[in-house]
Structures are given as structure tokens and as C-alpha cells.
A = this chain, B = another copy of it.
Amino acid sequence: MDATGNDLHHGGNLAAAEERFGRPRQGWLDLSTGINPAAYPLPALPPEAWARLPDGAQIAALLAAAQDHYGVPDRGCIVAAPGSQALIQWLPRLMHSPATDTTVAVLTPTYGEHARSWAGAGFAVDPVADFSAVTDRHTIVVLANPNNPDGRQIAPDRLLALAGRLAARGGLLVVDEAFADLTPRLSLASAAGRPGLVILRSFGKFFGLGGLRLGFALGPAALIDRLADALGPWPVSGPATRIGAAALTDSAWIAMTRQALANATQRLDALLTGAGLSLVGGTDLFRLVEHPAAPTLFERLGRAGILVRDFPERPRWLRFGIPTESGFDRLSESLNGWTSHKDRNASDVRA
């Protein structure tokens, strides 16, 4: 990560995509992120949302809305941040105890910033491919549920049992629930406050407002207080405070959106498998597929102005975000072209 944010290891970087593919005539169809393309409709913002620092009453309204939406038992167990990324940055720094030799298990593959942030704070990071490979050697365990990019799900009772074991030896389970709005039954939010468990929630993905920068940590009050203290006063913008409070209490929009994303996911799956791609997994905000010729398809889509997420370390994988209506048409056209091209040029396919 350089100071300009200009790297290719995250989705959504159209500047980097243009360096590689040029600027597409029709504009980009960006399917490289897991952000809902049908954003929450912005409420009117009063001038003071921009001008003034959000005050205690506005932050309290935001936290109450989040507490209710996520189902957190206690108000002292939730804190807001400018994106869940800000919490990923701070958490390892607050846990750092140079006296102990702490090994952090990160259930991989997953969102790369977790391992990066713990390693950056001086922890030994142990990438673990399977939940059952977590051992007593691991004092801190980090995983995403459901996972990005493969959608892997771990049952809440297994996670709560692990959090209990970790708490008993002064450890911590970090569960990144960035995509759990789509599967609320998976969320551990109702257990927030138990020792040894911290949950990260992202606002921007489900609500389609990634640029707003809003996320939450749920956990034991003492740890939440330390995070709040580290973030300092006014970590969240006035617009994020107000839009977040409105969106998180809009249960009609939330229910409608869950259904719409489930429908769009079914449609995307049909399109992708129809093109000969194998579905590995996903959530209702992204789908992970596998194909021996994935690098060729990535290039072909990129040249057609469709950016998807590739994985240099897993060259057979591609991740597709959910298209808009017009995006479905463009993607369908490109995939049809690829299928016929592929049939004509079987040599493109390398195992």
C-alpha cells in the first residue's frame, strides 16, 4: 500500500485497471468488489452534517441503529469507525504485548488486510487453511464468516466454543462479518460482550456505500472502550453518522435488498455456470468461480471493460460482484463471446 492507495491487490481500483487495460469506451463495469450496486438512496443531508463535528446525540443515534440492526445486547459493546478497515488497523496495536510470544491464526484464504495488519504490529501470523487446524498454539484467531472470497460458513456454536477456549487463556477470536448482512443467522452479534470475542461489521458493502467509510466493532465493553479511545473523538463523518442511522433502521429497504440480492445471485450463478465456470462459493454480494482458463477470461473481460477480481496466488479463481441490470447484459454478452471463442480455441484452456 503506498500513500496514494494505488495498488492492484484490492478490488475496485479502476485507476490501476486503466493502466493495464486502457479506459473502456463504454466505461467500466466494475465487478471486482463485493459492494451492492444498488445503493441505499441517500437521505437529504442538512448543511450541519457537513459543517459540524457530529455530536454525542448523533453518534448515539447511529450506535442505537447499529445495535438494533445487528442485534447487540448492550450499548457499551459497540463502537463506530471510518470503515471496518480502520478497526482492522487498530485492533492488533491494542492487543500487542511484546512480553508474550503470541501466534495469530488467520483462516485463509481471506481478506488480505487481516494478516497484513497483525504481521505489521509484530505478531507471528500463521495462515491456517481449515478451521479444525486451529490449535492451542494460537492465542488469537482471525476469520471471516461468511468468508471472502469463497463464502465458507462456520456455524455460530463452533465459533462461540472457540471464543470461550481462547478467552480462558487470555486470547481473542476476531470474526469479520463484513458480508453477514445477507445471512444474519450466521452472526455472533447477539453474543457481543462475551470475553474473547470481537466482531467487525462493514456498513458500505450491503448498503452499497463503500465510499462513505463506516464500520463497527462489537465486543466486550473494555475492549470497545480501548478501540474508542484509540479512534479518538469524531472518527466518523457527519454524512456517515446520519446516513448510517437512517439506513440501519430502514427495515423495509433491508428486507427488499436481501431478496433482490438473492435473486441477482441466482441469475449470476446461472450465467457463470452456463459459461462453463465452476462455482466455488460466495455470498449474495459476490461469487467465486474456478476455471483452468481463468487468466485468459480475466484478460478478455478486462479488455471489454469488465473488471473482476483475480487471485495471483490462485490463478484458476475469479470473483464476480453482483451486476446491475445493464451490467448483466454486458457480462452475458462477454461471456457468450468467450464461450464460443473458447470452443473454437481449445488450446487456450490450460489445466
Residues of A near any B CB (own CB < 8 A): 1-7, 10, 12-16, 30, 33, 35, 37, 39, 42, 47-60, 63, 76, 78-79, 82-83, 85-86, 88-89, 93, 98, 113, 117, 120, 204, 208-213, 224-225, 228-240
Contacts and interface: CB of A to CB of B under 8 A. Distances in A.
B50 A211 contact: yes
B86 A117 contact: no
29 contacts: A1-B232, A1-B233, A3-B224, A3-B228, A4-B60, A5-B59, A6-B59, A6-B60, A7-B233, A12-B53, A13-B56, A14-B55, A15-B57, A33-B52, A49-B211, A50-B209, A51-B209, A51-B210, A52-B211, A53-B210, A82-B82, A82-B235, A83-B235, A85-B234, A86-B235, A89-B232, A113-B232, A120-B229, A213-B237
A3 B52 contact: no
B224 A238 contact: no
Contacts of A88: 232
Nearest to A239: B239
B82 A232 contact: no
A266 to B, nearest CB: 23
Contacts of A209: 50-51
Contact of A13 (B13, B16, B55): B55
A30 B55 CA distance: 12
A15 to B, nearest CB: 4
Contacts of A51: 35, 37, 39, 208-211
Most chain B CB neighbours (cut-off 10 Å) among A2, A14, A52, A98? A52
A213 B236 contact: yes
6 interchain residue pairs of minimum CB distance:
A211-B238, A6-B56, A15-B57, A15-B56, A3-B228, A89-B232
A211 B237 CA distance: 5
A2 B225 CA distance: 7
Nearest to A230: B89
Contacts of A82: 82, 86, 213, 235, 237
Nearest to A2: B228
A36 to B, nearest CB: 9
- Among A3, A7, A89, chain B packs the most CB atoms within 10 A around the CB of A3
Nearest to A81: B82
Contacts of A213: 82, 234-238
Given A52-B30, A212-B238, A225 B3 contact: yes
A106 to B, nearest CB: 16
Nearest to A42: B50
